[in-house]
Amino acid sequence: DTEVTQTPKHLVMGMTNKKSLKCEQHMGHRAMYWYKQKAKKPPELMFVYSYEKLSINESVPSRFSPECPNSSLLNLHLHALQPEDSALYLCASSQNTGMETQYFGPGTRLLVL
Amino acid sequence: RKEVEQDPGPFNVPEGATVAFNCTYSNSASQSFFWYRQDCRKEPKLLMSVYSSGNEDGRFTAQLNRASQYISLLIRDSKLSDSATYLCVVNGGSGGYNKLIFGAGTRLAVHP
């Protein structure tokens, strides 16, 4: 079962709000990822977690704060976002951080007002 | 130069047509190659991995030419359900990290 789940599916927030996106996988994968995708553009990598440790931060602004509570869960905490942060946020996982296939969750569609 | 470049599309083809997508990548050290499919407002889904020997999955055939740094996807007997954006994806990570580099995608529209 190659399933990655994400909640919520949709989120509308104001620029002063604090919210969190959640991602879960039960495939025993040890690498998890956050991507941002704008309309008609490919996904852009934000963060990589390997064995619950942050491995890569692609120079993402600090208003995005990732967290990996355990090997199955990945959160993305949002605070003081800007309207240009509105996008589809995708979580993915892979067996490890080698040359492995990544499996994507359905995403959270975020609108910042 | 973009790290992964694809045909811009869109490709509008009738049902039953054969269509080919091309992709080039810039990092000669890349070791893993994939085609993902993304439907409108959905997540990317793995269509197939691409191997040097070429691989086939039903109506889909992928080829890799490492010398030319070129990847292709051939779809035979197109179905309406094949309409989607096809993303050429290359592993561009270093130091053991699995960083996927996505092409901009090629949109396919299959019509009756």
pLDDT at B99 over 60: yes
* 8 Å CB contact between B54 and B64: yes
Q: How far is A62 from chain B (nearest CA, A)?
A: 21
Question: Nearest Cβ partner of B34 from A50, A97, A101?
Answer: A101
- Average model confidence (pLDDT) across chain A: 93
| Inter-chain residue contact B104 with A104, CB threshold 8 Å | no
Long-range pairs for A52-60: beta carbons < 8 A, 24 or more residues apart: A55/A97, A55/B97, A56/B97, A56/B99
| Inter-chain residue contact B43 with A105, CB threshold 8 Å | yes
Q: pLDDT-based confidence at A100, cuts 50/70/90?
A: confident
Q: Which residues contact A27 (CB under 8 A, 6 or more apart)?
A: A1, A2, A3, A4, A93, A103
Q: pLDDT tens-digit profile of B13-57?
A: 999 999 999 999 998 888 889 999 999 989 999 999 998 888 999
Closest-CA residue to A105 (of A39, A41, A43): A43
- Between B94 and A52, the more confident residue is A52
pLDDT at B60 over 80: yes
B92 contacts in chain A (CB < 8 Å): none
Q: How far is A43 from chain B (nearest CA, A)?
A: 7
pLDDT at B68: 94
Distances in Å between the alpha carbon of A41 and those of B82, B86, B96, B100?
20, 12, 26, 15
| Inter-chain residue contact A98 with B42, CB threshold 8 Å | no
CA dist B103 and B34 (Å) reads 11
Q: Indicate which of A41, A97, A110 best probes the interface with B, i.e. most B CBs within 10 Å of its own CB.
A: A97
Q: pLDDT tens-digit profile of B6-20?
A: 987 899 999 999 999
